[in-house]
Amino acid sequence: MRMLIMGAPGAGKGTQAGAIAEHYGIPAISTGDMFRTNIKNGTELGQKVKSIMDAGDLVPDELTDAIVADRLNQDDAAEGFLLDGYPRNMHQVQSLDEYLTEHGQALDAVVSLDVDPQLLTERLLKRAQIEGRSDDNEETIRNRMEVYTDLTQPLLDHYEKAGLLITVDGVGEIDAVRERVLAALDDKTSNAKG
């Protein structure tokens, strides 16, 4: 299985990605987590991306594409992966397509978690109190939402046209949402096999 999970900030991508990846025995690969690890470890990449992430802007494509390609080249991703938070704009879609074509691979499904915008901000502000992520403040959240609407949301159309999109209601208990996602994926992949 080669999959993407998409959704606005606060939609629960990271939470669901872990459970779905575990179900399929594939790695969940989160660009946000990779960047945060680099910041925590004080790497050169971390130093480059810290202020960008704190502002809620997108890290430049060349850095993001490179970190994803490196990760996909690792052995554990050879048979499948679930990408969380990538691609986020049309350029990244093209980079990923090129990578997959070069490796004789293709995506099987793109899951979009659908959550009411009002609820998203509430979730993120609540998470700010629990996790203390430096980009979970009101101003940065507003910008991340705008970036999502302007640059990332249009990708849903693209994947819909490619016949890959599965939209799942992301509101409810974590377990209930996970079951919804797994049921929808089962349905889609068994149909695809005919």
Please give the positions annotated as active site: 13, 88, 127, 133, 144
2-6 and 81-84: which strand pairing? parallel
> 191: Cβ–Cβ under 8 A, 6 or more apart, which residues?
none
Q: Interface mask (CB under 6 A) for ligand ADP, residues 102-141, using x and -? A: ---------------------------------x------
Question: Looking at 20, 21, 38, 88, which residue binds ligand ADP (CB under 6 A)?
Answer: 88
Site string for ligand ADP, 29-58 (x = CB under 6 A): --xx--x----------------xx--xxx
Query: Shortest gap between Cβ of 92 and ligand ADP (angstroms)?
Result: 6
With CB atoms as reference, the residue minimizing the distance to ligand ADP is 32
In the list 24, 81, 86, 159, the residue contacting ligand ADP (rule: CB under 6 A) is 86
Question: How far apart are CB 100 and ligand ADP at their closest, in Å?
Answer: 16
**Positions 136 through 175 that interact with ligand ADP (CB under 6 A):** 144
User: Which window, 82-90, 111-119, 169-177, 180-188, contacts ligand ADP (CB under 6 A)?
Assistant: 82-90
Q: What single string gives the DSSP state of each residue in the chain?
A: -EEEEE--TTS-HHHHHHHHHHHHT--EEEHHHHHHHHHHTT-HHHHHHHHHHHHTPPPPHHHHHHHHHHHHTSGGGSS-EEEES---SHHHHHHHHHHHHHTT----EEEEEE--HHHHHHHHHHHHHHH--TT-SHHHHHHHHHHIIIIITHHHHHHHHTT-EEEEE--S-HHHHHHHHHHHHHHHHHHHH-
| CB of 193 vs ligand ADP, minimal distance in Å | 30
70 φ, ψ to 5°?
-55, -45
Smallest separation, CB 38 to ligand ADP (Å) = 11
Considering beta carbons, is residue 181 or 188 the nearer one to ligand ADP?
181
- Residue 20 CA to residue 1 CA, distance in Å, equals 11
Token pair of 150, please?
């302007």
Residue 57 or residue 160: which is nearer to ligand ADP going by CB? 57
Binding residues for ligand ADP, rule: CB under 6 A, are 9-10, 31-32, 35, 52-53, 56-59, 64, 85-86, 88, 92, 135, 144
